[in-house]
Amino acid sequence: MGKEEFLKRRAMEFYKLARRNFEDGFYNISAFEIEQACQLYLKYILATSKYGKCLSLVKVSW
């Protein structure tokens, strides 16, 4: 498993935990977990994009 797939898998794990905790009423921890999921998934997208390691969000967003 490559680095990119690891990032995606961890993002999905955090997402599933966030949903479960939200349904159980643990909103603070759910917010933390969904933030982690978003960050990891964004890293996955950037790692697999054609831009590679790009320092400009303008280039990535266009």
Say what the pLDDT of residue 46 is. Answer: 83
Query: Which pLDDT score, from 0 to 100, does residue 26 have?
Result: 97
Q: What is the pLDDT of residue 33?
A: 97
Computed over every residue of the chain, the mean pLDDT equals 87
Expressed as residue numbers, the domain containing 44 is: 3-61
| Radius of gyration over every alpha carbon of the chain, rounded to an integer in angstroms | 14
Please state, in angstroms and as integers, the Cα–Cα distance from residue 28 to each residue in 16, 18, 51, 52, 55, following that order.
15, 10, 34, 33, 31
Q: For residue 49, what pLDDT is reported? A: 79
Low-confidence ranges of the chain (pLDDT < 50): none
Total of domains in the chain: 1
pLDDT value of residue 56: 64
